[in-house]
Amino acid sequence: MKQRVVSSLIMLPLLAVVFVGGRLLLAACFLIGVLGMREFFRSFERAGAPRGETRGARPSRAIAYIAAVGLYGIDLFAPDKSALYMLWFFLVTALSFLYLLDADRRLIEDGMVTLTGILYICFFSYHVALVERLPLYGRMVWLIFLAAFGTDITAFFTGRLIGRHKLCPAVSPGKTAEGAAGGFLGSILFCGVFGYLLMPALLAHCLILGAIGGVVSQLGDLTASVFKRNLGIKDYGDLIPGHGGILDRFDSVLFTAPVIYYYTVLVIPMTV
C-alpha cells in the first residue's frame, strides 16, 4: 500500500498540467499516447516466448508514431476540418493493412496490433484534450480524472476493507464486487462534489457522468487486464513505481475520456 500511495503522489504534477491546460495538456496527451503505444507494442513483441510461440507480434512503430504526429498536427493546424480527421482514420487503417503486404515477414496480428495500439491508446487519450477545449464545458476535463482515479482509489480501499466476492476472477483475480461498487459510488461522490462547487448549473450531469464514469473506467481497467492476461504479463512497464507503466495508470482514462467528451457534446446541449 505504501508504494501505491507514493505512486499517487508522483501523479500530482498531472493536476498542474490539467489546471494549466491548453498546449501543455495537449503535449501531455501526445506524450502519454506515444509512451503508451510503445509499452503496448513492446508487450506484444515480448509475448511470443512465454507462450511457446515462435515470435511475438511485430507491430509497426513507424506507422504508429507517424499517426500520432498526424493526429496532433491536424489538431494544431486545422482543428476545424473534420474531413481531415476522417482522412486520418482512413490512412491509419489502410497503412496498418498495407503493412501486411510483406507476407513473408508479416502476420495478421502484426497489422491488427498496430491498428489497435493507435486507436485504443493514441486516439482514445486524445479525447482528454478535446474535452478541455470545449468552449462552454472545458472544466468537464476534471471529471475524466475524478471519475477514473476516484473510482480506482475508492475501489481499492473498499475492496481491501470489505471485499469478499470476486468480480471477474478469470481476468483480474484481485478485483471484488464490493470494490467495484465502492468505486462506482466514489466516482459519483467525487464528480458530484465537483459539480456542486464548480458547475452547479450542471450538477445533475456531473452526477450522471460520475455514474457512467464509475462503470466505464472499470471496464477500461478490465480491458487492459484482458490484454495483460493473454500476454502473460503483470504490468505494461515499470515507469511508475507500484503502478507499472503509463498504460497501467491510464487504462481507465482511455475509456472515460471519450465517453465524457461525447456525452458533453451530444447530450448536454439538448438539455440546457
SS3 for 103-163 is CCCCCHHHHHHHHHHHHHHHHHHHHHHHHHCCCCCHHHHHHHHHHHHHHHHHHHHHHHHHC
As a whole number of angstroms, the distance between CA 215 and CA 249 comes to 17
Does position 57 have pLDDT exceeding 60, yes or no? Answer: yes
In the predicted model, what is the mean pLDDT of residues 183-204?
A: 97
Does position 10 have pLDDT exceeding 90, yes or no? Answer: no
pLDDT band at residue 255 under the 50/70/90 scheme = very high
Does position 2 have pLDDT exceeding 50, yes or no? Answer: no
pLDDT at 23: 95
As a whole number of angstroms, the distance between CA 144 and CA 148 comes to 6
pLDDT band at residue 8 under the 50/70/90 scheme = low
pLDDT at 33: 96
pLDDT band at residue 13 under the 50/70/90 scheme = confident
Does position 48 have pLDDT exceeding 90, yes or no? Answer: no
In the predicted model, what is the mean pLDDT of residues 63-81?
A: 96
Does position 3 have pLDDT exceeding 60, yes or no? Answer: no
pLDDT band at residue 25 under the 50/70/90 scheme = very high
Give just the sign of the alpha carbon dihedral 235, 3, 165, 220. negative
pLDDT band at residue 54 under the 50/70/90 scheme = low
As a whole number, the mean pLDDT across the chain is 90
